[in-house]
Structure 1
């Protein structure tokens, strides 16, 4: 009997196994393919994903596989900029750059290989799930070779065609966006050849940006990749045939303006339907859907895989609390109540962008360009600004947003990222004038890590002080962070800490004897 079984060992499933394996839970990972998928699919993650990898100790192995970039640029029908979500030259409040591109086969191999660090993680490659049954106490998995396995909970990370979702007969909510695109991956021995776009921001470097061409003649996207890998996405026009568009001569014709005179090698060309879909149920009994099994988003802001990683980091800490007996299983119902609105908000932004990017009428495209330039985004806006706060679930007074992660100096005089100093998990960040007092009992039960600003971490950048000021907090205030680095709640002073603890006990469903906090 395993604590958790994970179906699928792509980047999302493998990350879930790392998160759970780090807690010491016994984890079974079932993956039907013996080797990572050999072709690139997802290509982008953001700073929040880097923070997740930092937390599970993989960041040093991950960084060599990444290409750091500067955001997203949208070009109108006339060849001029209509939207810029860039981060070049800006501060990094979350500790990492906003955008990183990677080569998925490398990432998957690294994540899978790293699972050997956890004795309680059982990775079974070449094992295909064909069915599952669940009772009040566990789930039984039926494997293609006739074998059986059992787990107290199951996370389905088995992709857009999820066998688990289909077996549970969970329907998808269609957000009414479906467009056919040709995706082309190539390796270039030189820079992409861009035309002379107008209105470029002074700091913009086209080789370090995701460039979206809102051209009614054929909308397209060009994105950087790690090393010499580059990707193009070309919208198929009405009447075009998928197979015809994947022919080598047609692909070469589409690439020609961008690779003129540059030696290159085609890696693959495949057609996709970009969808906006969300599962109506993310939990059925002891089984949870995550990643593409739970939702599919158009790729216009590169958030598809990011959604899946947020799913599993949200679910992993809650499963650990429940399986360790420190919280009631009712806590797990907050998974969908938190993640579903979050995902829908980001998919909504991507669908809205997709609708204007995919405009094929020249007159409407010209009107769109003029309107977007009139209401140009606030200077300094980035794609990270699209990620909303949590508004329900495990959220107390003042909670919901992602917390920043500046570089701070620890008590030994070493400058490190904040999470490396606090140790992660639940963190109570105390203002520089907060007193040393006995903390509420449930903080001890949850193993809350306490960090005093100015003593345990010196805020030389001033980012923490600015955050406190922006949220109306004085130097004696405290901020309670969840294990996923989202803010649970705020305490203006020590007198408010008991109220904050009581809110935490309620939202975590801490019903076990000895774990509730006094009101």
Structure 2
């Protein structure tokens, strides 16, 4: 592929940008990814991801390579200064709803290398490192000026679309003049990554948020021997002073001696809560940290950026393939309000943790400890987050959402014609109507689905039932029947468009999708 052939140029090849490149290339789009750095950043930054992200990596053929860089994600506990349990976050038990562990830790450099190596499989994807974006003109029909950092040579690109995945200081966002909405969270923290060398060091068995008003801090068990501590920088402290090796070891002294671990990385950050006021200007889009910054207390920064990529990729591919450009308006309509909710949830938890007033902290501890005693102290992490409520999702006649709308559709392990596999691996990409339970698709339904380009699949629960796909653990059927449904119409990004209790309801869903694809809603 030559420089001038790309339909999409992706700027920034961190986890979000390289995932988007892979998704677009897998969909047949000609894509060029550029990054100013020569190689991946060699130190860890993000450390947690969820099963939706692993499913995305599965869909681009990178899951096995990425899995080598992952580890188990421990439950997370909030504890007071005296060690009292205030709250505990756990993940769903097996059988896992998306066939992957609900949460995982990972090493970011290895993850990025695996995703870049995966991109080499696609002849329609060109990755160019050491290439800096220095100019962006006319976002309606964008023209990019790139500079080769090795020789200073400048070249121009005129792709159909541009996506800025270029981080919190996004050149593209600033060049477009897009402002950031401040959601009122700005706290300085020190992040310390240690490689454990003494397996007998007395460390917690879980991840812990220490809600100590003397100094709020966090402990995270990473993969292999990686352990992370995060310490709030107090108002009378200077970040550079706290980030000295001797000061770091003072902070770590309750857990480690210098002979028990080695320092891999330390850095100071201001944890922000920000959302870009626009995620699209003309034919230029923003994704990941370029359009939202989330406090790290629920490990949602990179996770949500990759979900941006999954949401946008299939819509760009459809528009490039001749579909309605109206569909592209649903990207911001779906993701921006969703991210404001995610950030609000994360910010509230951060405010719990970051309380420095001893009296307020004592009142918080008493209230939360009482909830624990009342049996309300354990929460499932995935249940904290809302579904997609806007954009390309179905609604009832009265405007209310139908059950399960906007949620990720489960992915059970199935037995199919080629043996045991995850459901997505047995299905073609695109829109799917999944029927579970006893519902026979009518000829009218099958004909309507064919006209819209929806593949219809029955997922049975017993091998004696006439079906090519049989799920092992009733994950899909139980998820549907809990809401009185027997079928789910699922988008290419695995978000549920709508559910139906019978064939007639499924026909109505298909018709609603058909109308919305022609003139997709942007609210």
User: Does the alignment reach a TM-score above 0.5?
Assistant: yes
Alignment correspondent of 2:187 = 179
Inter-partner Cα distance in structure 2 for 1:429 and 1:88 = 23
CA distance 1:379–1:243, change in 2 (3 Å): closer
SS in structure 1 of the partner of residue 158 of structure 2: strand
Q: Does 1:499 align with 2:508?
A: yes
| Deviation (angstroms), 1:492 | 2.3
Inter-partner Cα distance in structure 2 for 1:175 and 1:448 = 40
Which deviates further from its counterpart, 401-410 or 341-350? 401-410
Alignment counterpart, residue 390 of structure 1, candidates 388, 391, 395 = 388
Inter-partner Cα distance in structure 2 for 1:90 and 1:363 = 41
Inter-partner Cα distance in structure 2 for 1:306 and 1:378 = 27
Inter-partner Cα distance in structure 1 for 2:254 and 2:459 = 54
| Deviation (angstroms), 1:84 | 0.4
Which deviates further from its counterpart, 98-107 or 16-25? 98-107
SS in structure 1 of the partner of residue 117 of structure 2: helix
Alignment correspondent of 1:126 = 130
SS in structure 1 of the partner of residue 497 of structure 2: strand
SS in structure 2 of the partner of residue 271 of structure 1: strand
SS in structure 1 of the partner of residue 82 of structure 2: coil
Alignment counterpart, residue 264 of structure 2, candidates 263, 267, 270 = 267
Inter-partner Cα distance in structure 2 for 1:176 and 1:192 = 41
Deviations 1:9-42 (A, max 9, x none): 0010000000000011100111110111121111
Alignment correspondent of 1:158 = 166
Alignment correspondent of 1:346 = 342
Which deviates further from its counterpart, 87-96 or 9-18? 87-96
SS in structure 2 of the partner of residue 13 of structure 1: helix
Q: Does 1:416 align with 2:425?
A: no
TM-score by length of 1: 0.91
Deviations 1:433-479 (A, max 9, x none): 33354446663355433221221322331222211221112xxx321
Asked if structure 2 preserves the Cα contact closer than 8 Å seen for 1:87 and 1:380, the reply is no
Alignment counterpart, residue 42 of structure 1, candidates 37, 41, 46 = 46
Inter-partner Cα distance in structure 2 for 1:86 and 1:334 = 32
| Deviation (angstroms), 1:181 | 0.2
SS in structure 1 of the partner of residue 7 of structure 2: strand
| Deviation (angstroms), 1:70 | 2.9
Which deviates further from its counterpart, 71-80 or 216-225? 71-80
| Deviation (angstroms), 1:378 | 4.3
CA distance 1:436–1:64, change in 2 (3 Å): same
Structure 1: 5+ residue stretches without partners: 196-205, 512-519
Q: Does 1:467 align with 2:479?
A: yes
Q: Does 1:7 align with 2:11?
A: yes
Alignment correspondent of 2:327 = 331
Inter-partner Cα distance in structure 2 for 1:462 and 1:285 = 45
Which deviates further from its counterpart, 106-115 or 305-314? 106-115
Alignment correspondent of 2:305 = 308
Q: Does 1:373 align with 2:369?
A: yes
Alignment correspondent of 2:463 = none
Q: Does 1:190 align with 2:198?
A: yes
| Deviation (angstroms), 1:321 | 1.0
CA distance 1:193–1:445, change in 2 (3 Å): farther
Alignment of 1:57-72 (within 5 A): 57-72=61-76
Which deviates further from its counterpart, 248-257 or 450-459? 450-459
TM-score by length of 2: 0.90
| Deviation (angstroms), 1:150 | 1.6
CA distance 1:93–1:179, change in 2 (3 Å): same
Asked if structure 1 preserves the Cα contact closer than 8 Å seen for 2:7 and 2:30, the reply is yes
Asked if structure 2 preserves the Cα contact closer than 8 Å seen for 1:18 and 1:115, the reply is yes
Alignment correspondent of 2:156 = 148
Asked if structure 2 preserves the Cα contact closer than 8 Å seen for 1:75 and 1:212, the reply is yes
CA distance 1:89–1:502, change in 2 (3 Å): closer
Q: Does 1:86 align with 2:84?
A: no
Inter-partner Cα distance in structure 1 for 2:91 and 2:32 = 40
| Deviation (angstroms), 1:266 | 0.6
Please give the root-mean-square deviation of Cα atoms over the aligned residues, in Å. Answer: 2.0
Q: Does 1:254 align with 2:244?
A: no
Structure 2: 5+ residue stretches without partners: 148-152, 396-401, 461-466
SS in structure 1 of the partner of residue 333 of structure 2: helix
CA distance 1:379–1:371, change in 2 (3 Å): closer
Give the paired residue count. 494
| Deviation (angstroms), 1:91 | 4.0
| Deviation (angstroms), 1:135 | 6.0
SS in structure 2 of the partner of residue 314 of structure 1: helix
Inter-partner Cα distance in structure 2 for 1:458 and 1:375 = 42
Inter-partner Cα distance in structure 2 for 1:192 and 1:183 = 23
